[in-house]
Homo-oligomer: A and B are copies of this chain.
Amino acid sequence: MLRIGKLTDYATVVLASLAEEPARHRAAAELADRTRLSHPTVSKVLKGLQRAGLVVSSRGAHGGYGLARPPEQITAAQILDVFEGPIAITECSGAGSQCGIERQCRVGGAWQRVNAAIRRALEDVTLRQLAGLDSGALRIADLASEIRVHGI
Contact = CB atoms under 8 A, between A and B. Distances in A.
Contacts of A61: none
Interface stretch (A48-56, A62-70, A124-132): A124-132
Interface stretch (A22-30, A39-47, A100-108): A100-108
A117 to B, nearest CB: 4
B104 A36 contact: yes
Contacts of A137: 151-152
Given A107-B130, A125-B114, A149 B150 contact: no
Given A2-B118, A90-B4, A124 B105 contact: no
Contact of A122 (B86, B114, B116): B114
Given A86-B1, A121-B147, A101 B35 contact: yes
